[in-house]
Amino acid sequence: MKSHESTTAGTRPIVLLASLLLRGLAFAQGPAAPTGLMCELMARPELATITDPTPRFSWIVGSTGRQAAYQILVASDRESLDRSQGDLWDSGKIASAQSTAVAYAGRPLPSEATCFWKVRTWSGDGGPGPFSAAQSFRTGRLDAPYQTARYPLATTAVQPVKVARKAEGHYFIDFGRSAFGTVELTLAGSDAGRKVEVHLGEVPAGDAIDRNPGGSRRYRMMTLTTEQGTRTYRVAITPDKRNTGPQAIKMPESIGEVMPFRYCEIVNSPCEIDASSVRQIAVHYPFDDGASRFTSSSPVLDDVWGLCKYSIKATSFCGVYVDGDRERIPYEGDAYINQLCHYSVDREYTLARYSHEYLITHATWPTEWILHSVLIAWADYLYTGDTDSIAHFYEDLKAKTLLALAREDGLISTQTGLVTRDVLASIHLSGNLRDLVDWPHGNILGLQGGYGETDDFEFKPINTVVNAFHYRALVLMGRMAAAIGKGDDAARFAQAAERALRSFNDKLFDKAKGVYVDGEGSTHSALHANMFPLAFGLVPPEHVRSVADFVKSRGMVCSVYGSQYLLEALYEAGEGDFALKLMTDRSTDRSWPHMIYDVGTTITLEAWDNKYKPNQDWNHAWGAAPANIIPRCLMGVQPIEPGFAKVRIRPQVGDLKTGSLDLPTVRGTIHVDFASEPGRSFVLNVELPGNTEAAVCLPRMGQAEGETLVDGNVVAPTEEGDFVVIPNVPAGRHRFERKP
């Protein structure tokens, strides 16, 4: 890339010297003790059971320098470890910068035992830093089949925000937010045998619960029978026939059945009810509410972030990513959005991996969902730096690229006779593949009058959306093949991707209109036929503007699922202003502000509004795209090397004046904040954890020339489209400023 020609070029050695001095200072001081230890990607491995005989260890480097070496000790008892005796493994000093996914390499671990480990690091030529605090982990049967360890579910007792007395013995209670769980109720002075009604629901009707909310909005009434005296009762939820069926994920017996609710009514209580006597028992996967943070100059955007972040916690109630309460079934497309969101709000990776691996062998029917498995696998590796999962499921992932359905020109179809029993078996699908594009389609589910989320997409055997996913899967599969040392496969996938890309643009792009058509032989161009190629990098540079303009002209004519890719496409095309408007639009019922301020939900909906999907759930994580779009695209923080070894920070902040983000990563928290004065200056503060490096991109602000400062020093950055780039920014705190 051509460097920006400027009289400031001579300052570059000064900046490099300053960076070296910063690094040298960190080395001279020596590293602090590592923190944030993880075993098998778990910060609390003592709560789970590890069956991998060679578990992986990760830690946060305790300095802002670069790790030069590490030493891991693993012991069979705490006393030995406290004496720094690793009777199971003493790695010695290993000259390596690796601080994520370091494989155990000691004596065979004992089965069904508690082990202990700690780590220390070196930076530069100095001595070692202190050892970390010890962490324990429990092993199970180490000859068991491969399985990702995961936590047991957690519960949180939530106090009500409102208790209203409606009549004698009749109370209305608002817990502030919906959650999956039940109610715990303390009743005093009761006679035995009294029948107390407990009503739970998602939808209010004034100071009452809507007892006929329609669709899949939840309401249920249970009766508890009191015992003599003062007792605390946990209400047993009546099971729902559909979401406890054969395909549904079942709740563990230790938790019991749950339902989503925000509101409670108690009828025929023997005593006064106040905020101290009733609790919502919320069930969720372990979640660190303080791991992430986002604030901005837009209160609406902050509310959208809060809605979407909480949705990820609340919908984790099954211990597997599921589609909502109506079905409680995992789906690959849902899981991918859930995964990206979860990575953006918590330093937690096991639930995403477990869900992904479940779906490898429990595939679902949409063609694009099969291809999503490859996208999920890549995100798992990119965010963790751990190849365990992709190595184990490599052959399955190869099949899920759907190369078996390719014509000679590289394009795939589910309607050309190539979907054989062997193909279906290779992708673990019982049933047939069907192209989805978006959901729901029109004139189903009571959607008479043409409502649907496909923008009148014309389905053809060669489907533009499906082939955009196929291309993306080939690209990512090639990268994963290379990561685990399968160079020949990597080359083959790269060649297949190039062939598919050429045919895609030769046969599906309408040169006269400057947009993509819906499929081979179609003359119709839907939003989806253009936003997916834009999001996945299929659009040649000379056509990005025409495709992006078309995408903007259509607006939010896609579902909440499709919004993930619409927003990604806009940010990829440099249309951050328009993307921000879509995320904060209060004038339409196709937005997150509508969910918050008009519908009143506290968990993202399955659809934009009940009218767009009459049977929708009010608790669906696939509607939470801003939880990942805000950190990844608006604030612009994305890993570009596995395990966040290197990160790109490229904010596209629209008309926001300020913004601040704490993003959890496997290497530690990345902090980014900005202050924007359009036409005058853009200031970006970045704090990178140790052992991390960044490429920082600042807006050019419409100027071919301009001044860029790093930590107060003028530099000559490179140019990259509408951005100027400062590469190889070391760990630590840095201030960047761009002026016209």
Strand, coil or helix: 639: strand
Q: How many CB atoms lie within 10 A of CB 141?
A: 10
pLDDT confidence of residue 21: 39
Pair (216, 298) in one structural domain: no
Look up residue 476 and give its two tokens. 């990512």
d(CA 333, CA 562) in angstroms, rounded, equals 10
Domain assignment present for residue 242? The answer is yes
What's the CATH code of the domain at 171?
Answer: 2.60.120.260
Verify that 464 and 569 share a domain, yes or no.
yes
The dihedrals phi and psi of 352, each to the nearest 5 degrees, come to -65, -45
Among residues 554, 536, 563, 551, which one has the least CA distance to residue 629?
563
Q: What is the separation, in whole angstroms, between the first and last Cα of the chain?
A: 21
What was the pLDDT predicted at 286? 99
CA distances to 565, 566, 586 from 629, in Å: 10, 11, 18
Q: Is there a single domain that holds both residue 630 and residue 662?
A: no
What pLDDT, on the 0 to 100 scale, is given for residue 445? Answer: 62
CA 550 to chain centre: 28
Structure tokens at 625: 């795209």
Residue 610 in domain: yes
Residues of the chain with pLDDT under 70: 1-29, 445-451, 703-704
What is the Cα–Cα distance from 94 to 96, expressed in whole angstroms? Answer: 6
149 within a domain of the structure (yes/no) = no
The DSSP element (H or E) to which 666 belongs, if any, is: none
Query: End of a domain among 76, 109, 138?
Result: 138
Same domain, 276 and 320: no
CATH number at residue 659: 2.60.420.10
Parallel/antiparallel/unpaired status of strands 693-699 and 646-649: parallel
Residue 216 lies in a domain: yes
What whole-number distance in Å separates Cα of residue 603 and Cα of residue 282?
13
Cα–Cα–Cα angle for 116, 121, 123, rounded to 5 degrees: 175
Q: Is 428 left (phi over 0), alpha (psi -120 to 50) or beta?
A: left
Last residue of a domain, one of 138, 164, 192: 138
> Which amino acid makes up residue 516?
Y
The answer to whether residues 205 and 131 belong to one domain is no
Q: If you ran DSSP here, which 8-state letter would residue 142 be given?
A: T
Cα–Cα separations (whole angstroms), residue 246 to 327, 331, 369, 522, 666: 10, 15, 21, 40, 36
Tally of domains within the chain: 4
Q: Which residue has the tokens 């006679």?
A: 191
Please state, as a whole number, how many other Cβ atoms lie within 10 Å of the Cβ of residue 306.
Answer: 16
Domain match, 490 and 345 both: yes
Cα–Cα dist 389/381, whole Å: 8
Distance of CA 207 to the CA centre of its chain: 36
d(CA 54, CA 277): 48
Residue 60 sits in a domain of what CATH number? Answer: 2.60.40.10
Encoded amino acid at 172, one letter: F
Q: How far apart are CA 130 and CA 61, in angstroms?
A: 11
Task: Give the tens place of pLDDT for each residue, 393-415.
Answer: 999 999 999 999 999 999 999 99
Amino acid occupying residue 228: Q
Q: Same structural domain for residues 266 and 395? A: no
Residue 558's region, left for phi above 0, alpha for psi from -120 to 50, else beta, is beta
What's the one-letter identity of residue 45? Answer: P
- Domain boundaries, position 474: 293-634
At CA 192, angle to CA 186 and CA 195, rounded to 5? Answer: 70
Q: Are 480 and 378 in contact (CB under 8 A)?
A: yes
Residue 616 inside a domain? The answer is yes
Q: Which of 228, 259, 284 is the last residue of a domain?
A: 284
Q: Are residues 538 and 583 in the same domain?
A: yes
DSSP of 84-114:
T--SSEE---EE----SSEEP-SSPPPTT-E
Contact 607, 616 (CB under 8 A): yes
Residue 309 sits in the same domain as residue 412? yes
629, 567 in Cβ contact below 8 A?
Answer: yes
- Whether the CA torsion 399, 401, 402, 403 is positive or negative: it is negative
- Hey, which residues does 434 pair with through a beta bridge? 366
Three-state SS for 153? coil
User: What is the rounded distance in angstroms from the CA atom of residue 517 to the CA atom of residue 23?
Assistant: 52
- Examine residue 188 and state whether it is found in any structural domain, yes or no: yes
Q: Judge if 433 and 348 occupy the same domain.
A: yes
Cβ–Cβ < 8 Å for 563, 554: no
Q: Is 688 contained in some domain?
A: yes
Pick the closest to residue 608 from 621, 622, 591 (CA basis): 591
Q: Same domain for 393 and 380? A: yes
- Other CB atoms closer than 10 Å to residue 270's CB: what's the count? 14
**pTM for the full model?**
0.95
What SS3 state is found at 617?
coil
Q: Which residues pair with 137 in a beta bridge?
A: 115
Cα separation values, 265 from 169, 197, 214, 258, 374, Å: 10, 8, 19, 17, 46
φ/ψ of residue 627, rounded to 5: -60, -30
Same domain as 122, residue 100: yes
Where residue 514 falls (left for φ over 0; alpha for ψ -120 to 50; beta otherwise) is left
412 within a domain of the structure (yes/no)? yes
Residue 154, helix vs strand vs coil: strand
Could you tell me the two tokens for 454? 């496909």
Cα distances (Å, whole numbers) of residue 364 to 112, 242, 337, 359, 378: 35, 17, 16, 8, 19
